[in-house]
Amino acid sequence: MPDGAPLTASRLDGLSRAVLAWGARRDLPWRRTGDPWSILVSEVMLQQTQVSRVEEAFKRFVARFPTPRECAGAPSADVVRAWAGLGYHRRALALHRTAALLLERHGGRVPATRRELEALPGIGPYTARAVLALAYGHDTVPVDTNVSRIVARAVAGHRLRPAETQDLADRLVPPGRARELTQAMFDLGALCCTSRNPHCDRCPLVRRCAWQRAGGPDPAGSPRPQSPFAGSDRQGRGRLLAALRQASLPEDDVAGAAGWPEDRQRSARVAAALVAEGFARWESGALVLA
């Protein structure tokens, strides 16, 4: 594979096992509960506020509003008051409206589907996934900047588009272990795989990390610049994906579609990488979009 090791199921399994064995490292108040409302409150608070500032505010808020019913029944001024210290008070008002909608639409419970969660004020795909993983154990990892960095570095070895990152993050989850894996990934990003100067020497992924295998981080800690695009495997990969979006490709046409009619070996390698990463599959002798 041109960019890092192939993303086989066993490689993904090895990466997630290593993260799970390392485990979550921070004792945070919202991690001591499985209550979906409390977890939703914490995730809304964490959207734009640092963990250290959220800790006390979270405890105060859930003590005052332990369920959506108490929150919905309070004047909005009380909810905003309980939000003190967090900034971006519009989130408090959105949470207040959410509490009322939970009573109106869901019998006072936090729903367990993305569609229902994302229909609530101030809840986007990330927060919905966080609630599903952390409160309901759905097999997904919410991708914040920490998770995105780990997936790009350790799993892929290069920058990824958001949809690719989410797809890979979800493929890391062993069934039923989303909560543990998500918390451990958050902590790994905060404590080891930091944006600048990552602490690879104490990282549980150091022997499996695609970025390390490719020579390790540069001194600034940002991903190494990729090689020029023109003539690269990435360019052929892009051409193949574009062609596959139009139609399936018989095996004999793959080299031409990749832009290397004379180099079947190279096109086969790039096609194999697309299959290994789950973007394409072989069907009756043709490459098709997965």
Q: Which residues contact ligand SF4 by CB under 6 A?
A: 150, 153-154, 192-193, 198-200, 203, 205-206, 209, 211-212, 217
| Both tokens assigned to 140 | 């997904």
Task: Tell me how far, at minimum, the Cβ of 224 lies from ligand SF4, in Å.
Answer: 11
Coil, helix or strand at residue 142: coil
Task: Tell me how far, at minimum, the Cβ of 205 lies from ligand SF4, in Å.
Answer: 4
| Catalytic entry in 43, 116, 164, 277 | 43
* Partners of 288 in the β-ladder: 281
Task: Tell me how far, at minimum, the Cβ of 180 lies from ligand SF4, in Å.
Answer: 18
Q: Which of 49, 59, 37 is nearest to 91 (CA)?
A: 49
Task: Tell me how far, at minimum, the Cβ of 51 lies from ligand SF4, in Å.
Answer: 19
- Of 86 and 209, CB closest to ligand SF4: 209
Q: Which of 20, 64, 66, 73 is nearest to 39 (CA)?
A: 66
Question: Residues near 243 by Cβ (< 8 Å), separated by ≥ 6?
Answer: 249, 257
Which whole-number Å values give the CA distances from 135 to 38, 83, 122, 129, in the listed order? Answer: 9, 22, 18, 10
For residues 195 and 222, what is the distance between their CA atoms, to the nearest angstrom? 7
For residues 184 and 11, what is the distance between their CA atoms, to the nearest angstrom? 18
Task: Tell me how far, at minimum, the Cβ of 21 lies from ligand SF4, in Å.
Answer: 14
- Of 145 and 246, CB closest to ligand SF4: 145
Q: Would you mind telling me the total number of residues written for the chain in this entry? A: 290
For residues 280 and 290, what is the distance between their CA atoms, to the nearest angstrom? 4
Q: Which of 168, 109, 173, 101 is nearest to 135 (CA)?
A: 109
Can 43 be counted among the known catalytic residues? yes
Q: Which residues are known catalytic residues?
A: 43
